[in-house]
Structures are given as structure tokens and as C-alpha cells.
Chains A and B, each alone.
Chain A
């Protein structure tokens, strides 16, 4: 059954994996360098890591030009590299670079061993990139674990602080349960189809079943499998009611890790879920009943209800938070709901307008979220590993640069017009509104985002208007060079996305439309 593949063919396949291979080997190299280097030389690890990351990013740009638009399947169809996966990978690598730049100073302030941090970050990034570039459920599960396990460790990286280690074990338990649930769904899919390749599953469903009701009658395991896989994804993307782990973990984890986790885990899970939706869940017989309307027991309705609950509950809870990291955790839950709207729009409407909105929203969320956590990581008091609103008092006097960039990030997340986040929300909701069936959802999203603006702006109120209490002396924060660079670049990116969104939206739309080239 297995052919004797030639070495040349093998090497050619390795060519498509170069971004991944660079990451794997650099993580090994950094681990070894960390063990053998003298402690005075360890501050060079962060530049070394970012150098490797930049190499990987360059190879991704090169691959983007090199591969055909329909993508390439390699390693016995286990890995699928296409433009979509490369775009997401580029975003993830940018997130990792920003995280590394901020972390180098942050870790030094806390006096925590640093080599393992970068190594784990790179391994996790490898898993994420693998997860978005596969159309095979088995590979997807392996990649899911590969990126989750290092993140569990990173969350508990400040093991001397109770909070950090607590968040780590909570993340570990909930994340493992989520992946076990998803794995059972995958096992059921395998049991029904005998294959875990997306395209073959799609063909099988398309050929053998007509409607949801018929599937439920003849092959109930398929419905159960769909729900279990979806539950796993909802867990990873932190939709309510699968969000329980989010606030604690966002609060307890080291702040730069929270920034990375908040974007990267979410982006990876959404990208993978998007692939699953496009390839498998979107098959008409899994969505529609016999008379062509959306079946009441379809997964679409589950998502629809969860989006509404998530939008309302997350924004309401976020208002009562005093801890900024916790507040941003709930804000990230509400962002997950927006991204889910994009996926729902995509599967319901067939207009090309909706194509770019998911990726563009992710891009704006990348810079705003990681930037905001980067600013917080500099503001946080040594040893507390968290920032309350009161900690931000008089921040505008301590560091005008940080406050100005925080203003940009917060405005972007709240959706205030000139910044990237506004256009992300705007395009997303516009394409959802054009398709008539989602107009209720759009209305709720608009109302809740107005509520959301309140708690976002409260952060700014504390930063600008409240002064520090008299016994605390105002000291100017000196921002380290790499951190300053990262924050400045993120702020510029957010502004740029807000001013010139069109070309990028178009680019993202083309990336998605490549899915339909057969």
C-alpha cells in the first residue's frame, strides 16, 4: 500500500514545510543554547528567537508566491498548504515576534529563566501553523495538542506566583477535556466515513445523505460527532457557555503570554474551525432540511443561539470587572462572538462580500489585542502579575507614549471609527446584514458593542482623568527599546488598517475565494 517514495520527492515536500521546519529546529537550538550558554549571554536569546521568526516569515512570503492558488497537499495528504494557511501563519508569526520583543524585558524584570520561554513559544507556534495548514482531522488533533500543551506550561511560567500556576492547571484541565471531547467526535467521524480527509468526508456526505433529518435517522453518530467536534472548537474559541476558563487564565498567566494566547489560540481555532465549516459542516445535507429551509436541529442554530448569549453576557460581565486583564478576557469572548458571526455569514450567504471579513477582523484584533496586553505588561506592578483599573491612575503622566498607544488599541477594540477595529466590525456586520436572515444578530451585535464601548472607555478615564493618590510618587516609566518598537509598530498597524482598509479587505477576500478553486 505504501509506495517507496523517492528522496527527491521527499525533499520537494520538505520545501513546503520550510516555515515549520525553521520553527522546530530553532526551538531545539534555543533550548540547547539556553542550557550551554553563560547566564550573561542569555539576553541575546530574544534577538536570536526573533531572527528565526523573521526567517520563517520570509519563507512564508516566498512560499506564497511559489505555491499554486489551489494549494498543495503533501505528506500523504496529511498537510495542506494554501494561501489561507499562509496568511494565518504570517499573522501568527507576527504575533509571536511582538510577544518575543515585549517578553525579553518583562521576563528579565521578573527574574525568570528565559530560554525555555522562547522554546515553548516556538513549539506552540509550530503546532498552530500545522493546525491551520491541514485538512485531515487526525493531523488537526495532533496539531491542537502540539500547540495547547506548551501554552499550558507558558501560562504557569511564573511558577513562584500562585496565580500563574493556578491558571496553568485550570487551563490544563479544561483544555484537555476540550480536546478529549473533540477527539471523540473525530473518532465517530472516522467510524462513519472510514476516512478523516475533509474532501472525502464532504463527498461522502454529499453523495449519501439529503437532509439533517435523514442523517439523524440513518447515521445518528454523524450528528453526535458534529456536535462534539463543534464543542471542542467552541471551548478553544471561548464562546459562552464554554468560556469558564478564560477570565481566570487571562488574569493569572504572565501578561505577555496572555497577549499571545488571546490572539493566537483564538485565531488558530477560528481558522481551523473555518476550514472544517467550509469543507464539512457546510455541506447542504448537514444544514438544510428536505424542503430547503435551515433544519431546526442543524449546527447553525446552535451557533446562532450561542452568539446571541455570548454577545450579551460577555459585555455585561465585562462592565463589572476592576481587573483590566479580566476585563480584556471578557472582551476577547465578545470578539469571539463577532468572529463566529463571520463564519455564520459565510456559510449562509454565498456573496463574495463576506469572504474577507473574518481574516480582516482577525488582523485588526491581532494588533489591538497584543498591543493592549503589551502596554499592560509594562504598567503592571512588579510581583502582582495583574493590573487593576486603579493601577492605571495617572498613567498619562507616567508615560505619554504608552497611554497614546493604549488609546489607539482601546479605540480599535471598541470600534471607534478611524481605527482598524471599526472597519473590521463594519465589514463583518455589513456582510452579515446584506444576507437578510442574520439582521437580528446584527442588531444585537451593534447594541452590545455600544455597551462594550462603556467599559473600554472606562480604562481611558482611569488613565487620563484620575490622578495618583498623594502617597504614591509619580515616576516616569522607562519603556525598553524592543518593547517600544513592538508597541509603536502595532499602533501604526492599527491606524493603517483603519485608514487604508480596502486593499487588505480585497486581498483577504481573494485568499478565501481560493478555497473554491478545485
Chain B
């Protein structure tokens, strides 16, 4: 089986892919996808740590279940907000949302 360090490296890479995605991309939907990638990077790290280091309890895996549910709730709310924005402005690009710039 692959060693723990590989899992953690993968999870770190995923985390930074997500972070870069949020910072670079301009489409709100893609930004939400990037946030999901960040959350799932944490999920991977939790499960890997649990499996390799602390295998006599299931805390990490249970928590990753919770994170999955939380991420779904977050995305549902985010999509609802995006729908409201689209109804109002007919766009989902973040640079078009500049009413409050001075």
C-alpha cells in the first residue's frame, strides 16, 4: 500500500489547486467547485491520517462524513445564491459584480 506521505502530498496538492482555483478563476460556479476541492483535500488527509496513524479509532473517517454533508449544505446555499444573482444580473462572473466599487 502507498505510504502516508503520498496521501498527504496528494491532499496538499489538491488543497492548493483548490485555493488557486478560487483566487484565479472568475466564474462563481468554478470557484465553488474549487472550494469543494479544498474541502475534499481535508477529507483525504483526515481519512489517510486515520488509516495510517490512528487506526484504533474512527474519528477521522466519521468527521469526513460530516464534512461531506456540510459541503453539500454549503453548495446548496451557494447555488441558490448564484441563481438569485443570475436572475438579477444575468451573469455568473465575479468581475461583473461591482456595484459597490468606488
Contacts and interface: CB of A to CB of B under 8 A. Distances in A.
Given A145-B73, A191-B45, A251 B100 contact: yes
Interface residues of A, number: 39
A180 B14 CA distance: 12
Interface in A1-28: 1
Contacts of A152: 77-78, 81
A1 B89 CA distance: 54
B100 A180 contact: no
A163 B100 contact: yes
Contacts of A1: 57
B35 A173 contact: yes
B17 interface: no
Nearest to A251: B100
A145 B74 contact: yes
B84 A187 contact: no
Contact of A138 (B50, B63, B74): B63
B78 to A, nearest CB: 5
A248 B15 CA distance: 27
Interface string A124-163: 0000000000000010011001000100110010011011
Given A163-B99, A187-B60, 17 more contacts: A1-B57, A138-B63, A142-B70, A159-B87, A162-B88, A165-B81, A176-B32, A176-B35, A177-B35, A180-B38, A180-B39, A183-B42, A187-B46, A190-B63, A191-B46, A195-B59, A248-B100
**Could you tell me the dominant secondary structure of chain A's interface residues?**
helix
A190 to B, nearest CB: 6
Interface of B: 8, 11, 15, 18-19, 22, 28, 31-32, 35, 38-39, 41-42, 45-46, 49-50, 53-54, 57, 59-60, 63, 66-67, 70, 73-74, 77-78, 80-82, 84-85, 87-89, 94, 97, 99-100
A186 to B, nearest CB: 7
Q: Which 9 A-B pairs have the closest CB atoms?
A: A191-B49, A180-B38, A194-B54, A187-B45, A187-B42, A183-B42, A166-B97, A159-B84, A176-B35
Contact of B28 (A142, A169, A252): A169
A184 B15 CA distance: 8
16 contacts: A1-B57, A138-B63, A166-B100, A167-B100, A169-B82, A170-B97, A173-B22, A173-B28, A173-B31, A173-B94, A177-B19, A181-B19, A184-B15, A187-B60, A195-B59, A252-B99
A255 interface: no
Contacts of A183: 38-39, 42, 67
Contacts of A162: 88-89, 99
Nearest to A193: B54
Contacts of B78: 152, 169, 172, 176
A168 interface: yes
Contacts of B63: 138, 190
A251 B100 CA distance: 8
A169 B66 CA distance: 24
Contact of B100 (A173, A186, A252): A252
Nearest to B37: A180
A196 interface: yes
Contact of B85 (A145, A169, A186, A191): A169
A188 interface: yes
B73 to A, nearest CB: 6
Contacts of B80: 153
Contacts of B77: 149, 152-153, 172
Interface in A389-403: none
A176 B53 contact: no
Contact of A196 (B22, B35, B53, B59): B59
Contacts of A247: 100
Given A145-B70, A159-B88, A165-B88, A184 B41 contact: yes
